[in-house]
Structure 1
Amino acid sequence: MTVASMTGYARAEGRDAQTSWVWEAKSVNGRGLELRCRLASGHDALEIAARDAAAKRLKRGNVQLSLTVSRVGEQSLLQVNTPLLAQLLSMCKEWEGRFPGVAPARLDGLLAIRGVLEPEVDPERGDTEETRQLREAAMKVSLDSMLDQLAAMRADEGARIAAVLNGQLDEITRLTAKAAACASLRPDAIRERFKAQLAAVLEAAPSLAEDRVAQEVALLVVKADVREELDRLSAHVEAARELLGQGGAIGRKLDFLAQEFNREANTLCSKSSDVELTRVGLDLKAVIDQFKEQVQNIE
């Protein structure tokens, strides 16, 4: 399975002897999979097929599907849906004056409402049931082609993002190694710093009880040791690489790992008593923020 982004666009056209149609899809980032369908009048029955087909290919993202249909060789003649327009005019009259400062509805605005203006139907060119079924089947083929294009575009974008993420993981690995090599983390440096800190504690409170001194010693030891944070950073890098290699809908898992990366980097900075280690920690946080930002685009 490949890594896919949540952004993309696709378009597919089709036609028969009497009708032409165009499918379009636009996809952007989303927490889950949200599908919005806008189908030409009289083709609402295709919505279920469109939703099922999209759900088979996509796992996350806000996706807008649209179907535009027009008659082949016909002039763009329109007719007014009189009952609907009459209902809208009645509603406007009923609500008129209830909202001061709101201008009354205009006829051009009412005509722009979906369904008020409809293509004029020629009774002599009416479709048979067989023709409608064949056209609907052809429209579904165009739909599948369009969704395949959309999935392919999202996969191409996902491959580019995966390359960026792997580069950022390389940088996190490099900075983790640099942090581990800091002079302040060498055993002799830790020992000398520990002696100085312990001496400062005893000088400040020479009458401290033995158990209290032991507590202070334990706190100093814990604060000086960042090996656990460095080990976790390395483990998170390995887990992220495994997810990228696995592919599929991994965006949520990568987002969780990004939070874990950030937690370890924050702890590293808070424990640091050395300028060099602090700088490395801040560099880590900057790369992790970039990693998290890119992960938001992954399905």
Structure 2
Amino acid sequence: MRLHRPCVSATAAVVVSALGIAAYHLIPEGNPAPAPGAATVVQDPAAPAAGQREATPVKPRTTVAARPEVPARLPGIGSRTLARIPAGTRQVVLVTGAARNSASSKVVLYERVDDGWRPGAVWAVHNGYRGWTDRHYAGDLRCPIGVFGLTDAGGRLADPGTRLPYHRSGAFTVSGPGFEGESLAGSFDYVIAINYNRQPGTSPMDGTKPMGASRGGGIWIHVDHGGPTHACVSLPKTHMKQLLQALDPAAHPVVVMGDADSLAR
């Protein structure tokens, strides 16, 4: 009786043991069975045919993780704005307003590396109620457009671990409703002074205004209260703590702020 097994090699046959007792392998259809007592060699189906060289095993390739690309220059920043960033600056808090008269912006912390600027997370924030201005005055409810140093911090709560000089005081207190009826309580739990019309190296509470009181002042990055500000930039509390912990005076951090069209100049 003939048994069929298509995947068995055509060279498979009978193996005769040293005692002359035949052990039978399955014979594929179309190949005659050997004569009784004839010895045959069973070839490994995986072995190369006679006259062929054994294939050299191929070693798996080692995959090297690609290095993340970083922009060579700050995205959305035009030559005029770029020229205002100090040469030694290695940290930029980029605040990009949605439009000239919008109170909504996005913030990204960029850090200088060998081949460009490495971006951090993108955070949605609020800015001045009426948007942005090239020439800020007290009470205009617009944030000043420009590049400003970030040298001093403070707040009602304890230092969260910043390397900036930090002034803790109960004077960082605000109350009442915001422009959309939201509570302002806790807005000054953490603040970073924006060096617009102020004396760097002093507490954010310092009232010195080198350009005069009419040009406004006391403009900070502070905790978001859920609505537009008078002229500040406001981040959610968690992100304020992260920003405070990231900023390094040795990197000469600055804030680059304004609506998208203005910053692109």
Structure 2-normalised TM-score? 0.19
If each structure's strand is expressed as a fraction of its own residues, which one has the higher value? Answer: 2
If each structure's helix is expressed as a fraction of its own residues, which one has the higher value? Answer: 1
